[in-house]
Amino acid sequence: MDGEAIGTEDQRAAGLRRMKTFATGMLVVMAVIFLGAFALQDEYPWLQYVRAAAEGGMVGALADWFAVTALFKHPMGLKIPHTAIIPRKKDQIGLSLGQFVEENFLSESVVRSKLDTARIAEKAGAWLERPESADRVAAEGAALIRGMFTVLNDDAVQGVIESMVRKHVVDPPWGPPVGRMAERIFNEGHHHRLVDLLVDRAADWVDANYSVVTRVVAQRSPTWVPRLVDGVVGDRVYAEVSKFIRAVQDDPRHEVRIALDKYLKDLAGDLQHSPDTIAKAEEIKAQLLDDPRVRDLTARTWSTVKSALLEAVNDPDSELTTNFKAAVRDFGSRLSRDPELAGKVNRWISDGAAYAVRTYRSEIAGVISETVERWDAKETSRKIELQIGKDLQFIRINGTVVGALAGLTIFAVAHAIFG
């Protein structure tokens, strides 16, 4: 590709001026040759051929100069019909260009065909599995998170979190959902391990607190009872308590366990169906999550999340950053080595692009026509001339050469036939 065609605007303008000067110079040369040959052709008959060639060259140069100039402006300022085509037809050109792009480039079949051969997933995987690529993704992600936290307003975010907590936690009644969950747990016996743990801890406490049990018995007995009797009673009470705890501990079908199961199942049912129990659950919820506590909870939640994330992304050696980099490299490795996964990703990309083209192709193409409509007519003509005007000057040059050859050929044939 011509370097000047993609250079700066000044470079393109300079190239266009050079080509215009050269093409106009050829016209001037043809005019000078014509005048000289015309003046001397009687003295030197062979100059008739030169005159005919120069005459044809001038005609070709002038005709093509008019054709090229008429694209961008009125030749010599004369408003000749069908000149200054681009300024006058700017909007139609933009519309036609948009339709051309829509029909030939924003076609679902074209997009799918191109993406099917691009193998984006495999290329992305090969790039992502390189350590320096994972570092770059992590750095860009950290910058995105920092920018997001800079833009976000803390009060607004806390308000959103608070509204979500109220909608999904505070406002709905707690009784029925808690009751349904508890009922399932109790029916499936998942609470038995917790009961075993509590009974075991109670047995351990009784074993380790003989003096506490006997002292409590002595404190509760009447003052007139002898201490010897208190000691005997305390020993008896301790033995019975220990025996009772051991019985509950060793017998999975002990009546205490059965009674506890029945109580828990009844409680689960009441939480779902008893208005009084549901109302009590709501009172407990109101005490736990009143307005000040909810606001404090959401504020502390957002502050904790924000501080933790910022601390993690600002430290390149943090656990979050290290795990993220490892995950990026692992995903890239899987993409590049797992044909099935790569195929799925490629299909997702192809389907997404096809949907976007199918749904928004007219809007995308409309950007071209709408942009061209907003351009100034003269400025549009100048921009287009800077892009293609240099190549169009070759039309003038070729017209000069072809005109000269045509003039020479016509004169030579006519002279040969008619003398």
Structural domain contains residue 139:
no
What total of structural domains would you count in the chain? 2
Whether 4 has a pLDDT exceeding 50, the answer reads no
Structural domain contains residue 386:
yes
Of the three residues 269, 289, 309, the one that is the final residue of a domain is: 289
Structure token digits, residue 377: 């007519």
Instruction: Identify whether residues 382 and 273 lie together within a single domain.
Output: no
* Residues in the chain, total: 419
Structural domain contains residue 402:
yes
pLDDT of residue 174: 82
CA 179, 182, 188, 192 dihedral sign is negative
> What's the pLDDT band for 402 if we cut at 50, 70, 90?
very high
Structural domain contains residue 26:
yes
User: Helices 275-288 and 255-273 sit at what angle, rounded to 10 degrees?
Assistant: 80
pLDDT of residue 97: 80
d(CA 92, CA 127): 44
Q: What pTM value is reported for the model? A: 0.52
d(CA 85, CA 69): 10
Nearest to 30 by CA among 47, 53, 46, 49: 53
d(CA 125, CA 129): 6
Structural domain contains residue 208:
yes
Tens digits of residue pLDDT in 349-401:
989 988 888 888 888 888 888 887 787 778 778 888 888 888 888 989 999 99
d(CA 231, CA 233): 5
Tens digits of residue pLDDT in 246-284:
898 888 888 988 998 899 899 999 989 999 988 988 888
Structural domain contains residue 400:
yes
d(CA 193, CA 305): 34
Tens digits of residue pLDDT in 167-196:
887 788 888 888 899 899 988 888 888 888
Instruction: Identify whether residues 280 and 390 lie together within a single domain.
Output: no
Q: Are 137 and 328 in contact (CB under 8 A)?
A: yes
Of the three residues 254, 289, 324, the one that is the final residue of a domain is: 289
Instruction: Identify whether residues 173 and 269 lie together within a single domain.
Output: yes
Instruction: Identify whether residues 185 and 84 lie together within a single domain.
Output: no
Spatial neighbors of 239 by CB under 8 A, at least 6 apart, are none
Tens digits of residue pLDDT in 288-311:
777 787 788 888 888 888 888 888
> What's the pLDDT band for 230 if we cut at 50, 70, 90?
low
Average pLDDT, the chain: 85
Structural domain contains residue 300:
no
- Give the CB-side neighbour count of residue 199, counting CA atoms within 13 A: 21
Of the three residues 289, 323, 341, the one that is the final residue of a domain is: 289
Tens digits of residue pLDDT in 61-108:
999 999 888 888 888 878 888 887 878 877 887 888 888 888 888 888
Instruction: Identify whether residues 285 and 177 lie together within a single domain.
Output: yes
Whether 7 has a pLDDT exceeding 70, the answer reads no
Structural domain contains residue 151:
no
Higher-pLDDT residue of 3 and 403 is 403
pLDDT of residue 35: 94
Q: Which domain holds residue 53?
A: 3-88+376-418
Q: Are 48 and 411 in contact (CB under 8 A)?
A: yes
Instruction: Identify whether residues 79 and 187 lie together within a single domain.
Output: no
Whether 1 has a pLDDT exceeding 60, the answer reads no
